Structure 1
Amino acid sequence: MAPCNANVPERASDFHPTLWGDFFIDYSPEPLQKPEEMTQRMDQLKEEISGLFEACTTTAEQLKLVDTLQHLSIDHHFNKQILAVLSSIHGTEFNSTCLHEVSLRFRLLRQQGFWVSPDEFNRFKDENGNFSVDDTNDARGLLSLYNAAYLFTHGEAELEDAILFARQHLESMKNNLEYPLAQQVNRALHLPLPRAFKRVEALHYISEYKGEPTHKPSILELAKLDFDLLQRLHLKELKALSRWEESAITLLPEYLKKFYHKLMNIFKEFEDDLKPHEKYRVAFSRKAFQILSSNYLQEAEWFHGAHKPRFKDQVKVSTVCSGAPFASVGLLVGMGDDVATKEALEWAIGCTDAVKAFAEVTRFMNDLASFKV
């Protein structure tokens, strides 16, 4: 932790004085680079990285390149090259005795839809059909085996046994591993790679990839640019959701128009299901959703600007983003007249102490659990 310096002013967050304003609709953070410049640089990097496929001289190098691109979530830029490489690998005999390489090949091929037999792992088993103890000190290989085995299909008991074997030994050695392998093992034990959210895993791996001994600067730069452009896209989407006007649909990109229209229809359906004297409740639910979207936007702007808010500011925003305040209002909408009164809805949407406590418990329990992981 950095030492405290009394001469350094505390960074404050600029909160709009009211939750009902249109601040987020017009706000745009100052970009470090123009999108056009970023796109142009990405095209240069993609051309450079495409050359890496031809530069690979072994199957192991090809597997490593494909895995890296997928792990950083930039594989969509190289779909044709990846499919060609994996098709070639699938049709070629692979006699490696490296647990990591065999497991990586198994996972990448199965992810792509190619059938690979679990018998590939028999070379690492003894005469009794158990995995050899010689592999128990190979953390990288065990991690690859663990992730690969989660692509088992019904009836593949040998892969389920592989999961138990790998997990047992990874648990015993995880505290003695070095960065970044230690972080990757801990995440996998919590959520195996095939079941993880791809973009979330990419965010972790972007910061870890530089620590890999064979990392490529061009790949890392492309991953950062791609992620930054995605964040800007999400920012644009959140601004659109903050408008909540039929007329705003024409301003949206095509892929977002259907979602936006569907979202508005959902609230319209809620309103249609209520009795005439109950329809006003949907307005409270709609406002609660706008507040939720605005706070999602605030978190995105903090992340995009690499801003570290004060703890109390972070709590103020993240508790709303937990969804608890929105749920408090939404639950009241369908209740009876003796419960869902106008006063009760105003109480819930005002984020009173009880609602705030509910949100903080929800937020802190989630954050503490993820911090331990």
Structure 2
Amino acid sequence: MQSYAITTFSLGPGARGNMSFRLAARPGERRPSLPGCWQRRHGAALLQRRRVSAETQQHEADDRLNRNPCDFYASVWGDFFLHHCSGSAASSQEQRTWMEGRVDDLKKEVAKLIAISATCSLLERLNLIYQLERLCLDYLFETEIDVALTEIHNANINGYDLHTVALWFYLLRKHGYKVSPDVFEKFLDKDGTFQAKTPRELLSLYNAAHFGTNGEIILDKAIHFTKRSLESKLPYLVGSLTHEIQCALEIPLPRRVAIYEAQVYISTYEEDATMNKMVLELAKLNFNLMQLQYQQELETATRWWTDLQIHSRLPFARDRLVECYLWMLGVYYEPTCSRGRIILTFVINIATILDDIYDSFGTLEECELFTQWIESWDPNAPHDLPECMQYAARKLMESYQIIDNELPPKEKYRMTYLRNFVSDIYHLYVMYFPSLKILLENNINTFDDICLLTQ
């Protein structure tokens, strides 16, 4: 078997500007109506600050292009995804074609493996499905896994150990099957302690119990018991199970993002006694192919972002592009969801860009005008806005037109929801805009200061 390197990219830490304002009331307190109270007390001063000459306004508008009021740091990525290439284009494409062909062959073999597992023990069958899901291969075998889970749901689990029952419960609850938590009652002692003999049983029960719903007391007890037991055993454990337990105690498995766990689990699975070589090879090849696609998607998004930043000349936080893309990748990682990832990355980035305009670059009058334009959805940006904001407005309209062009006729109704989403967000921005501006001008950044000013 050939070995395949897995290339990964990690987002490096950066020092962001840190300025926050507590606008929400504490429990039991009523949030004061800040703009009205403040303007009644200091209306004259506020009006005087707004009476500036046209020359000063123009100077400030021009100066905004040279300022970085939010202290946005330089992108740790730069133009990496614009120029990234794994070897020469020809050899890269040739290798990718071979990988895709090999994946197709392995998919057929693993599909047979899932079918044959019906003759294996319940634990072996459960382990195979669990491993495919941890390796992010389950989307390749949705039909086969659905058939297997239907049969597993009807299986008699009497006489099985805690690890098997917990894994059975975990997989069925994860896929929406109604299974009762009473299956764990037989593992309780008279004093209410679970009869878990090994760390593996404790970990399986701990993860399964996090699929509990409100009022399932036995699962609440399981979480409390297994967490305490795992924490006490952790210092004395060695091997890959130690890392699994550490990760689970930090974030339980049902709450983790599968695609970000897959690479780590590939290494864990490689050392597993139940490892299947075909499954391992498929996992590595498929992971590399998905990464190549993710890099292409990021190239598309980066070109859009670079064009916006160059022409608007406003210093937006560029790392948000990658952050928003990783967010969407966590929502759905499957290759067939490529269009959705790119569209939502655009939408979320547009929201953050215009948020910066409202918070940092626009005056109150400009932001009110900008909001009116968004609500009207006029293709022509208002001429009263500074050039940088006009470009952002045109880019917003252009981006939504690109999204509309990507949708087939039967899906174009979704654009109405996207427009309403943007309109609602910026209507709220301009509602709270006066409050934020006043707070900034007076260096007020705590709830107590706000309460003193509004009494």
Deviation at 1:128, TM superposition (A): 4.0
1:114 paired residue among 172, 177, 188: 177
C-alpha RMSD of the superposition: 3.5
Distance 1:23 1:196 in 2: 28
Deviation at 1:92, TM superposition (A): 2.0
1:72 aligns with 2:135: yes
- Conserved? CA contact 1:99–1:124, under 8 Å: yes
1:139 aligns with 2:195: no
Deviations 1:328-355 (A, max 9, x none): xxxxxx7759989xxxxxxxxxxxxxxx
1:54 paired residue among 89, 100, 115: 115
Give the AA of the match of 2:86: P
Deviation at 1:277, TM superposition (A): 5.2
Distance 1:223 1:45, change over 3 A: same
**TM-score of the aligned structures, taking structure 1 as reference length:** 0.63
Q: Secondary structure at the match of 1:280?
A: helix
Distance 2:292 2:440 in 1: 42
Residue 243 of structure 1: aligned partner: 303
Residue 267 of structure 2: aligned partner: 207
Give the AA of the match of 2:121: T
Provide the aligned length of Structure 1 versus Structure 2. 268
Distance 1:96 1:70, change over 3 A: farther
Distance 1:121 1:339, change over 3 A: closer
Deviations 1:248-282 (A, max 9, x none): xxxxx744563365357544795734994556369
Aligned pairs for 1:81-120 (under 5 A) are 81-120=144-183
Distance 1:261 1:336, change over 3 A: same
Residue 124 of structure 1: aligned partner: 187
Residue 38 of structure 1: aligned partner: 99
Q: Secondary structure at the match of 1:206?
A: helix
Residue 178 of structure 1: aligned partner: 238
Mind listing any 5+ residue stretches in structure 2 that lack a counterpart?
1-74, 309-337, 358-366, 374-381, 393-432, 442-455
Mind listing any 5+ residue stretches in structure 1 that lack a counterpart?
1-17, 247-252, 285-333, 341-373
Distance 1:278 1:174, change over 3 A: farther
Residue 227 of structure 1: aligned partner: 287
Give the AA of the match of 1:25: L
Give the AA of the match of 1:35: R
Query: Is the radius of gyration larger for structure 1 or structure 2?
Result: 2
Deviations 1:284-307 (A, max 9, x none): 9xxxxxxxxxxxxxxxxxxxxxxx
Deviations 1:191-215 (A, max 9, x none): 0000011111212101111111111
Residue 280 of structure 1: aligned partner: 388
Deviation at 1:35, TM superposition (A): 1.9
Distance 2:255 2:80 in 1: 38
Relative contact order higher in (CA < 8 Å, ≥ 6 apart): 2
Deviation at 1:220, TM superposition (A): 1.1
Distance 1:338 1:165 in 2: 48
Residue 415 of structure 2: aligned partner: none
- Conserved? CA contact 1:107–1:147, under 8 Å: yes
2:82 paired residue among 25, 32, 41: 25
Aligned pairs for 1:150-189 (under 5 A) are 150-189=210-249
Give the AA of the match of 1:258: I
* Percent sequence identity over aligned pairs: 34
2:276 paired residue among 211, 216, 240: 216
Distance 2:202 2:98 in 1: 42
Deviation at 1:237, TM superposition (A): 1.4
Give the AA of the match of 2:265: Y
